[in-house]
């Protein structure tokens, strides 16, 4: 009998603590799910938007814009061919780094981003083809900026505009 009383003294308080802890966890989970769920005020809920994906893609487009690349990558003493290689490498690496972002944007937006990448590489190659082996990165930069100045609207700007429109429609 004494043995049974000792078991009850230990298990009853433990069971009460367990029941209270489980109840508190349920209440906490309910509060968390209510605060993190979309409002249900009669309107259909919109899917959660991954803002970081849009931010990263806009950053990629800005960084791979030829005008911005010239300002960022040109340095004294670099040859035109070396600058071309570094620019193309940078565009491809940053694109590969952002490949996973395509799951958060529409197919049309992703096509615009890929088109901006390809058009930029073509523009850099065109500018480089107008340089001789002895010309410097500064010469390539000048030619690239001249070619860029002749373009009415960069594919980067188009893609950024559509990214913004898509994001605004989701919010």
Structural domain boundaries of the chain?
51-170
The average pLDDT across 152-159 equals 91
Which tokens is 112 given?
């615009």
Which tokens is 122 given?
């073509």
The pLDDT value recorded for residue 14 is 80
Contact, 145 vs 67, CB < 8 A?
A: yes
pLDDT digits (tens, 9 = 90+) for 17-65: 778 777 888 888 787 777 666 555 545 555 567 889 999 999 999 999 9
Which tokens is 20 given?
């209270």
Q: How far apart are CA 100 and CA 102, in angstroms?
A: 5
Q: What is the pTM of this model?
A: 0.71
Helix 80-97, helix 51-63: angle, nearest 10: 170
The pLDDT value recorded for residue 1 is 65
């Amino acid at each position: 009998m004494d043995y049974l009383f000792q078991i009850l003294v230990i298990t009853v308080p433990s069971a009460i603590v367990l029941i209270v802890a489980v109840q508190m966890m349920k209440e906490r989970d309910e509060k968390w799910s209510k605060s993190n769920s979309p409002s249900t005020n009669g309107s259909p809920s919109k899917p959660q938007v991954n803002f970081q994906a849009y931010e990263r893609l806009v950053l990629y487009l800005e960084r791979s814009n030829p005008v911005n690349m010239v300002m960022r990558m040109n340095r004294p003493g670099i040859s035109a061919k070396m600058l071309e290689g570094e620019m193309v490498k940078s565009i491809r690496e940053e694109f590969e780094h952002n490949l996973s972002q395509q799951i958060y944007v529409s197919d049309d937006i992703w096509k615009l981003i890929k088109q901006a990448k390809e058009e930029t590489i073509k523009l850099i190659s065109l500018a480089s083809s107008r340089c001789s082996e002895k010309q410097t990165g500064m010469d390539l930069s000048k030619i690239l900026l001249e070619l860029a100045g002749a373009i009415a609207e960069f594919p980067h700007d188009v893609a950024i505009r559509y990214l913004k429109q898509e994001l605004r429609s989701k919010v």
